[in-house]
Amino acid sequence: MITLEFNEKYSLMHTFECGQIFRFKTFDDGTTYYGTLENHPIKAYQEDDHSIQIETHDDKVVKPLVNRFFRTDDDYLSMKKAVQIDDLMRTIVETTDGMHLLLQPKFECMIAYLLSQCSNIPRITSNLEYLAENFGKKLEFDGKTLYTFPTRQDLIHLDEMDFRQMGFGYRAKYIDYFIHNYPDFLDDEVRDSALFNKQLKSLYGIGQKVADCIQLFAFGDLYLFPVDTWMMKFMKKYYYRGGKKNPVKEIRELGQELFGKWAGYAEELIFFYARCFDSTL
């Protein structure tokens, strides 16, 4: 048993349901979630508002992984203060209270966001689960059957046609290309954030939005403000006052101006709120 304690509220449900991650599942309406990290089974349980408990098969090995994954070192209270720039943002912070960003395993995260374009959460989830169930490792844990996400080596024998048959559609060629042309820069010890963003965008199938999501969710660059259709609708309605038809670039920059180094947190709080709590969008 591993206990993670926080000064602030930590909501497992908000964290796993906000839309940043796809393959953690609850069977009890949001108190307990099951998933995997690397080759380890993870059961996460909401103990109280400020602490969660993790069960796995090897606490000693998994402890550093969950600390990293659940971002236990984030200065969440400073983030909340910084992001509450007006009444609307105060409402959003209150509504989504306890939602934390995660630091996701990078290979799975990259596949997930390559699959995300013109798709939706249920479909992305089922695409990822198909990969896990067919090419990952099966783990029995706490009465549940869990599947690890496959490594690149586990998928290297597959090609575009295989991925098309899995229902990936035109995204199949991006997955195929990524797996067979895995770039060295992803494993560089030292990263320059701006350069890294360009390097990601140079990959086949990765544009500004997917690059920002990968860099935010799997590499932890919290200042990024990914702009998808939800963010466009939200920002046009509440903050963006330009007149351009397709102001993705300006809205991305506006997000960074408004929320600074916490723009990534702001984006995810807004995304969750826009999708689940604002019926006018």
Partner DNA sequence: ATCCAGGCATGCA
Partner DNA sequence: TGCATGCCTGGA
Residues 21-50 that bind DNA (CB under 7 A): 22
Q: Which residues contact 224 (CB under 8 A, 6 or more apart)?
A: 197, 212, 215, 216, 256, 263, 264, 267
The binder of DNA chosen from 35, 136, 150, 205 (CB under 7 A): 205
Stretch of residues binding DNA (CB under 7 A), selected from 2-10, 29-37, 68-76, 244-252: 244-252
- What's the CA gap between 119 and 115, in Å, rounded? 7
Q: Which bin fits 266, alpha (ψ -120 to 50), beta or left (φ > 0)?
A: alpha
Binding mask 145-174 for DNA (x = CB under 7 A): -------------------x--x-xxx-x-
- What's the CA gap between 157 and 164, in Å, rounded? 14
The binder of DNA chosen from 9, 19, 72, 141 (CB under 7 A): 19
What percent of the chain is helix, strand and coil (3-state, nearest 5)?
Answer: 50, 10, 35
With binding defined as CB under 7 A, does residue 206 bind DNA? Answer: yes
With binding defined as CB under 7 A, does residue 121 bind DNA? Answer: yes
The binder of DNA chosen from 90, 152, 198, 249 (CB under 7 A): 249
With binding defined as CB under 7 A, does residue 138 bind DNA? Answer: no
With binding defined as CB under 7 A, does residue 80 bind DNA? Answer: no
Helix axes 248-259, 229-238, angle to 10 degrees: 70
Task: Write phi, then psi, for 139 (nearest 5 degrees).
Answer: -125, 130
Task: Using the minimum distance from each CB to DNA, give the nearer residue, 10 or 230.
Answer: 230
Q: Which residues contact 78 (CB under 8 A, 6 or more apart)?
A: 262
Report in angstroms how near the CB of residue 226 gets to DNA at its nearest: 6
Which stretches of the chain are assigned E, i.e. beta strand? 2-5, 25-26, 32-37, 40-48, 51-55, 138-141, 144-147
Sign of the dihedral through C-alpha 121, 154, 105, 47: positive
Task: Using the minimum distance from each CB to DNA, give the nearer residue, 147 or 272.
Answer: 272
Report in angstroms how near the CB of residue 63 gets to DNA at its nearest: 28
Stretch of residues binding DNA (CB under 7 A), selected from 1-9, 17-25, 99-107, 138-146: 17-25
Q: Contact positions toward DNA, by CB under 7 A?
A: 19-20, 22, 116-124, 164, 167, 169-171, 173, 201, 203-211, 213, 226, 228-230, 244-246, 249, 271
